[in-house]
Amino acid sequence: MIRRGEASSRGELVARTGLARSTVVQRLDLLAELGLVREDGTLPSTGGRPGARFRFAADAGVVLVADLGATHCRLAVTDLARGVLAHEERELAIDAGPGPVLTAVRTRFGALLRRAGLDSQAVVAIGLGVPGPVEFATGRPIKPPIMPGWDGVPIGPFFEDFGAPVLVDNDVNLLAIGEHAEAWPDRADLLFIKVGTGIGCGIVAGGRLHRGAQGAAGDIGHIRVAGATERCRCGNVGCLEAVAGGGAIASRLRSQGVAVEDARDVAAAVRAAEPTATAAVRDAGRSIGEVLAGTVNFFNPSVMVIGGDLALAGDDLLAGLREVVYRRSLALATRELTIVPSRLDDGLGIIGAAVLATEAVLAPERIDALAARHSALHDAADVPAIAEPAR
């Protein structure tokens, strides 16, 4: 609550939590001992003696984060409030395989730490995003289509020198986490739709990321578009990605004589008002809208955020998409539905990774476990005699 700015004094914490004052005092002592909270002056007096003001100590540790794409990566050191202390972007081909890629990331993490004037003692967690499905619990990519050599490889061990937990997730999930934390913290149900070469979706359900049974949730690129006959690389016909992905559009436009290489070029052509590209992107928006209309009926989100390279095309993509979603979804489910472009820039994946890593470190369960260990030590002397054998 202190971190979120919901309370900053003992009195406010007592009032907001309903906990006994003695419990609040004890927990604040513990958080101070862990270095996570510190006293910072006093509150304006309301009559009696002024109360101490407490602040979250965002500098109690740092996290190392990396967002790995197909050909580029972004790396950063952030504090516990996702403030960036050092960062860099560089070319790094994911298809070089886990050994070369992760060794390079580890080396750059070390360099970034030095640049920030820190050593690895300060690192409390590491967060990484990769462009493919991940089994989150074990941090292994699972049959990632554009990551040859990565299937089933545990990523954590590459970073064990830092002695900190390593969290690995799909890049689109990190975009959803980042957008939710930065722009829509009060909306419980959010979808982040990334429209780039492929099409994927990150799902926040009840304020938490929904990864699904195999970590495969959000793979909307292979949902069928009614009436579509395009063959997809997955082997099926009419998949959304084969109809409306940036790669598919670029290839169709090339066959119509428009000089575009990829999704980014398509978006640029639309911004330059190239008519064939504009019509293609508007149609793509309608196809994406058709699939999203289904997810709106099924999931009833409160916000849908559209990002990715093709989203740089702007209003033409969103117009087609909104048109179909509002026509095809139930009135109740779209009553307060917000459909917006991503507010944040290319650094969003890094922010998402920082949120993932800091939330893991600062999770209430983890603090509770520390508190339990703490109180076990302190209670050792006065445990009452129990009619049970020691185990």
Which residues in the 281-310 window bind its own copies by CB under 8 A?
290-291, 293-295, 297-302
Give the C-alpha separation, 336 to 287, whole Å.
Answer: 22
Which residue, 238 or 320, is less far from its own copies as judged by CB?
238
Which residues in the 312-331 window bind its own copies by CB under 8 A?
327-331
Which residues in the 228-247 window bind its own copies by CB under 8 A?
234, 236, 238
Binder to its own copies among 16, 35, 40, 50 (CB under 8 A)? 50
Which residue, 70 or 188, is less far from its own copies as judged by CB?
188
Instruction: Name every residue whose Cβ is closer than 8 Å to that of residue 281 and which is 6 or more positions away in sequence.
Output: 249, 266, 267, 270, 310, 313, 316, 317, 320
Nearest approach in angstroms of CB 217 to its own copies is 4
Which residues in the 137-166 window bind its own copies by CB under 8 A?
142-143
Binder to its own copies among 116, 172, 199, 201 (CB under 8 A)? 201
Candidates 56-64, 110-118, 217-225, 309-317; binding stretch for its own copies (CB under 8 A): 217-225
Nearest approach in angstroms of CB 201 to its own copies is 7
208 forms part of the interface with its own copies (CB under 8 A): yes
203 forms part of the interface with its own copies (CB under 8 A): yes
Which residue, 220 or 318, is less far from its own copies as judged by CB?
220
Which residues in the 352-371 window bind its own copies by CB under 8 A?
369
210 forms part of the interface with its own copies (CB under 8 A): yes
Binder to its own copies among 223, 288, 321, 351 (CB under 8 A)? 223
391 forms part of the interface with its own copies (CB under 8 A): yes
Which residue, 79 or 189, is less far from its own copies as judged by CB?
189
Give the C-alpha separation, 67 to 129, whole Å.
Answer: 5
220 forms part of the interface with its own copies (CB under 8 A): yes
Binder to its own copies among 5, 41, 44, 48 (CB under 8 A)? 48
Instruction: Please give the C-alpha separations between residue 292 and each of 64, 163, 191, 280, 336, in angstroms, as whole numbers.
Output: 34, 42, 10, 18, 16
Nearest approach in angstroms of CB 271 to its own copies is 30
Binder to its own copies among 51, 149, 154, 156 (CB under 8 A)? 51
Give the C-alpha separation, 12 to 28, whole Å.
Answer: 13
Count of positions on this chain that bind its own copies (CB under 8 A): 87
Determine the angle formed by the axes of helices 263-271 and 246-255, rounding to 10 degrees. Answer: 70
Which residues in the 7-26 window bind its own copies by CB under 8 A?
9-11, 15, 17-23, 25
218 forms part of the interface with its own copies (CB under 8 A): yes
